[in-house]
Amino acid sequence: MDLPNYYEFFNPIKINAGENALNTLSYELEQLAVEKPLILTNQMLDEIKILDDLMDSLAEVNISPEQIIKNIPNQATVEIVKSCAEKYKKYACDGIIALGGEAIIDTAKGINLLISENTKDLKNLRGIDTIYSKMEPFIIIPTATGTGSEAALKAVITDDQFNKDLEFISSKLMPDLAVIDPRMTYEMPPRLTASTGIDSLVHAVESYTGLQRNPISDAYAFSALKLIGSSLKPLVKDISNKYHRMAMNNAALMSGIAFANSRAGIIYAIGDACEKIAGVSHGDALSILLPHGMFHNLKFEYCRNSYQDILLALSGPEKYSNTAAKDRAVMAVAEIAKLLNELQLLTAIPLTLSEIGVKRREFPDIIEKAMHNTAVLASAGKVKREDIESVLEAAF
């Protein structure tokens, strides 16, 4: 890559990763001076005993039942954030632990915003870098690999009263600690393992081709791509494999860190719009759009050069060296399409937008939504409406 004249990279998160990483929690809470954490999770994670694993690791900490909220919904909302923030104050909590996926993590970020900024109205804080106060100690324990939410400087919280999503972007939303323990993701079935793995792949690909990429974000994205290439399919075939599970956990984290710094692109923008307009799964939309968005980007030399590296990372040196230099970018797209087809045979992940319920009549609204997503600003070329329509048609 050409070294940029100027770039910024930020990742303040301490990462404890590996088997039994949860066992470090008591020490980490002590280091953060947290004595009464508010713990957020959901009913499913309670039922499958993931919460029990967390509580076992906190046996030395005096946790009362009032400090544990087990009913976080699948969508972070203003009302649930307010309710949890009131409990945080009522029980004099001094830190937050989010055990779960994106909705739980975004809920925790919202609570931290309300408490730290001492406000009752989240709407006052929406936007970019609107947070100035010192945040409460914050720990994330992800239970799903793919989103990289534990490394994200963004939160999306739905305001049901006005039927609108509030978006918050700030480095202050990042946690003090991310605990990556493979025990937290052992219960993920093959279908979800495949979908979230492709989510990580999209993050890594878009990070490696974003206009704000830099040498450090490239290192994270390239390493994530190597892990995904060697571990995603084997893990889908054997979801109990500890090595491949940990590899994909790390890939999700590293691609998330790269994504947070180099930003997204056209694939993410369209996928996010499909989710918002058509109500489809974020991960499914991204996995369907990935090869079509990459094919669109082949017209840019900037992306073709990057895709050669992606071929090397995903498919290894033999495939790379046996492919003519002029064909490597196209081969990278072909290899990703091949991987998606293999995962479809293994787990029935969808390959077209029509399969997941996107309607062609929704395309104008999806295009409008995508054009207003800041991700298009970091995508190669100047993204036009017809570019988005072309990708949608190809993926339909």
The listed range with the strongest mean pLDDT (53-62, 184-193, 204-213, 350-359) is 350-359
* Gap between the Cα atoms of 154 and 149, Å rounded: 8
For range 26-32, the mean pLDDT:
96
For range 247-252, the mean pLDDT:
94
What mean pLDDT is reported for the chain?
93
Cα–Cα distances in angstroms (integers) from residue 167 to residues 70, 97, 128, 157, in the given order:
24, 21, 8, 7
Question: 188-395 has which CATH code?
Answer: 1.20.1090.10
pLDDT at 1: 64
pLDDT tier at 165, thresholds 50, 70, 90 = confident
pLDDT in tens, 283-303: 899 999 999 999 999 999 989
Q: Which of 325, 283, 289, 321 is nearest to 307 (CA)?
A: 325
Q: Quick check: 263 pLDDT over 90?
A: no
For range 100-117, the mean pLDDT:
95
Q: Which of 287, 284, 267 is nearest to 275 (CA)?
A: 284
Specify the 3-state DSSP secondary structure of 7. coil
Element (H, E) at 167: strand 164-169
Tokens standing for 87?
Answer: 């409990």
Sorted by sequence, the CB contacts under 8 Å of residue 276 that are 6+ apart come out as 165, 369
Range with lowest mean pLDDT among 34-43, 89-98, 149-158: 149-158
Q: Measure CA of the first residue to CA of the last residue in the chain; give whole Å.
A: 33
pLDDT in tens, 192-201: 999 999 999 9
Cα three-residue angle 192-274-77, rounded to 5 degrees: 75
Residue with structure tokens 């029990």? 52
Cα–Cα distances in angstroms (integers) from residue 334 to residues 184, 310, 352, in the given order:
33, 12, 16
pLDDT tier at 383, thresholds 50, 70, 90 = very high
Specify the 3-state DSSP secondary structure of 152. coil
Number of Cβ atoms within 10 Å of the Cβ of 326: 9
CB contact burial 378-388 (16+ within 10 A = b; e otherwise): bbbbebeeebb
Q: Which of 29, 32, 77 is nearest to 54 (CA)?
A: 29
Q: Quick check: 4 pLDDT over 90?
A: no
Q: Quick check: 203 pLDDT over 80?
A: yes
For the segment(s) 14-183, the CATH number from 3.40.50.1970, 3.40.50.2300, 3.40.50.720, 2.60.120.10 is 3.40.50.1970
Cα–Cα distances in angstroms (integers) from residue 93 to residues 78, 84, 96, 329, in the given order:
20, 11, 8, 52
Sorted by sequence, the CB contacts under 8 Å of residue 191 that are 6+ apart come out as 347, 348, 349
Q: Which of 317, 295, 318, 319 is nearest to 307 (CA)?
A: 295
CB 292 within 8 A of CB 183: no
pLDDT in tens, 322-347: 999 999 999 999 999 999 999 999 99
Q: Quick check: 275 pLDDT over 70?
A: yes
Helices (H), 76-214: 78-90, 102-117, 190-209
pLDDT in tens, 58-82: 988 889 999 999 999 988 999 999 9
* Gap between the Cα atoms of 237 and 246, Å rounded: 15
* Whole-prediction pTM: 0.92
Q: Quick check: 146 pLDDT over 70?
A: no
- 163 vs 65, which has greater pLDDT? 65
pLDDT at 300: 93
pLDDT at 120: 85
- 327 vs 120, which has greater pLDDT? 327
Q: Could you tell me the residue ranges of all domains in the chain?
A: 14-183, 188-395
DSSP bridge pairs for 96: 38, 138
* Gap between the Cα atoms of 359 and 134, Å rounded: 45
* Gap between the Cα atoms of 3 and 50, Å rounded: 44
pLDDT tier at 152, thresholds 50, 70, 90 = confident
